[in-house]
Amino acid sequence: MTATKKLVLVVIDALKPSMLERAIANGRAPALARIRRDGCYVDDCVAAFPSVTPVCAATITTGAGPDGHWIPSMNWYHREEGRYVEYGSSFSASRQFGVLRSLTDTVYRMNAEHLSDEVETVYESLDDIDVRTAGTTYLIYRGRYEHEVSNETALARIVTSTLFRRTILGPRELFYADLYASRKTGCRGQLGMPGIRDQHTGCVGAYLVENDLFDFMLFSLPDNDAWSHKNGPHAQVTSIAAADRQLERLMHAAGGPDAFLDEHAVIVTSDHSQAAVEERIRLDRAFAEFDVATRSAARSINAEVALSPAQRAAMVYALDLERRDELVARSVEAVREVDGVDLVLWLTGPPDEAEAVVRSRRGELRFAPGDQVVDDRGGRWNVEGDLSALLGEVQDGRFLCSEYPDALARIWSALKCPNAGDVLLSASPGYEFVDWGGADHVGGGSHGSLHRSDSLGALLWCGTGPASASVRERWSLRDVAPMVREHFRITDGVSGLGKAGETQLGAD
């Protein structure tokens, strides 16, 4: 059996294809240029919807959409607990719901409780066949190995002794923002501060390469997203160059690019793109006539709806289930004329016969799984109504929709997520929903919508995967986890490695 290369999955948050190409053309991203030169490149890989980081991170690591992994958005309403879950839209939003609660939801509950146990992460799949897994700071980290809180640094000791004390399940080697570190590496992450996170990942990754401690590593580079939020997506060349330096650091630890690529396969993906933001949407004002759930669960017992803004997407929950249809209809009407609301999405009909409804100012479209038309990923649907609602068309039995890529499957998956709202909203280009803390990214960049401007990211691979990107007409984040599993010959949850694979991949 041919030896399997080690695999590094690089996630560059918000990597915009046009900016990647500019950075390469300007000589600012030599490591990424080498991977693109020697491998395959896709400039229109479709994000999950809503195209916010928690949803997309869960899709990258599981291969499932929101209906499978159950992470619905950046901010959502937990019906069973009667409260909002806030994963950190902004510091001011976290303060509204309690910083400690927000951190607990993000660091612990997202993986231990919110992420469905009916799906496997790539860590879990590979841990089960004794592939040596490793991960740097990333929202989704669930694996099979227990990790205690770290006490390597004074700052970590203070935080873990007062706030974070829980054991978590992660990959064999886990390094999470100084809170968890399976080994003493000497690397410091300043508890995940923006601008420091990429450097921490590069330091940890280089240590793992030098000491031959992994067969699969998720190498997370999130700082590009924070830079783009502040400076706009067209300023990414600087932050892409910074991310590329950490990739170079990884390569140098192996003896240089040639030596690194001789031993390692690489997948590079963005989780979503970003779009420029010029105007804000105040969802609370549109629902001034509703009794809206607040951050206080005790004061929200009789609330009619919950509002969950999440950058360029938002959700509305009908909390009185006996009045669900009435509240959905009122909610749809409330946002009908709100500037910046592009698409209004909801389900209608009994669960086993449900249809998705898409309403925009251009018209209304209904659809459900069926056999009338096929989309560009092979999904089959029945559609009825005005195709212009999605600026779509049907040609020779194919549903085509360039402005909203993979629209039907993404909408359906988002609406069928058990934790999703009853009404989902997607913002028009240039607009963003103000979050619960009153924060927005006007003058900078944002993401979350169904629109192509923040839904199409970059995907590259080298030393693994198909020989050509043309094997698929449309690539999606849902393809990343299967590519990882196939690299280690896992098909339908069954490994082709066996004992021989363990020997080839290396042992502790």
CATH 3.40.720.10 fits domain 6-71+120-139+216-274+453-505: yes
195 pLDDT above the threshold of 80: no
CA gap 94, 133 in Å, rounded: 32
Given pLDDT bands bounded at 50, 70 and 90, which one contains residue 163? Answer: low
Least confident segment among 134-148, 179-193, 206-220, 305-319: 179-193
Residue 275 CB-density burial (10 A; 0-12 exposed, 13-18 middle, 19+ buried): buried
Q: What is the mean pLDDT of the chain?
A: 92
Q: Where are the alpha helices (DSSP H) in 163-222?
A: 197-210
472 pLDDT above the threshold of 50: yes
pLDDT at residue 2, as a whole number: 42
pTM, two decimals, is 0.93
What separation, in Å, do the N-terminal and C-terminal C-alpha atoms of the chain show? 21
Q: What is the mean pLDDT of residues 108-121?
A: 97
Spell out the SS3 assignment of 378-431: CCEEEEEECHHHHCCEEECCEEECCCCCCHHHHHHHHHCCCCCCCEEEEECCEE
Nearest partner of 273 among 216, 321, 311, judged by Cα: 311
421 pLDDT above the threshold of 50: yes
- pLDDT for 201-219, tens place per residue? 999 999 999 999 999 999 9
- pLDDT for 285-321, tens place per residue? 999 999 999 988 777 788 999 999 999 999 999 999 9
Joined tokens for residue 185: 């590496």
Q: Give, as one character, the DSSP assignment of residue 441.
A: -
- pLDDT for 258-293, tens place per residue? 999 999 999 999 999 999 999 999 999 999 999 999
Domain ranges of the chain: 6-71+120-139+216-274+453-505, 276-444
Degrees to nearest 5, angle at CA 281 with 276 and 283: 145
pLDDT at residue 87, as a whole number: 97
Given pLDDT bands bounded at 50, 70 and 90, which one contains residue 479? Answer: very high
Given pLDDT bands bounded at 50, 70 and 90, which one contains residue 189? Answer: confident
Q: What is the mean pLDDT of residues 95-114?
A: 93
CA gap 35, 261 in Å, rounded: 9
CA gap 62, 314 in Å, rounded: 23
Number of CB atoms found within 10 A of residue 123's CB: 28
Given pLDDT bands bounded at 50, 70 and 90, which one contains residue 1? Answer: very low
420-436 CB burial, b ≥16 within 10 A, e <16: bbbbbbbbbbebbbbbb
Q: Where are the alpha helices (DSSP H) in 16-153?
A: 17-25, 30-38, 53-62, 66-69, 91-97, 99-104, 122-127
495 pLDDT above the threshold of 80: no
pLDDT at residue 503, as a whole number: 27
Q: Where are the alpha helices (DSSP H) in 26-178?
A: 30-38, 53-62, 66-69, 91-97, 99-104, 122-127, 154-162
506 pLDDT above the threshold of 50: no
Q: What is the mean pLDDT of residues 339-343?
A: 98
235 pLDDT above the threshold of 70: yes
pLDDT at residue 302, as a whole number: 87
493 pLDDT above the threshold of 90: no
Query: Is residue 181 a contact partner of residue 153, using CB atoms and an 8 Å limit?
Result: no
Residue 224, C-beta contacts closer than 8 angstroms, at least 6 positions apart: 12, 13, 14, 15, 236, 239, 240, 242, 243
Pairing of strands 275-281, 445-446: antiparallel
Given pLDDT bands bounded at 50, 70 and 90, which one contains residue 505? Answer: very low
Which CA distances in Å does 367 have to 335, 355, 383?
21, 6, 4
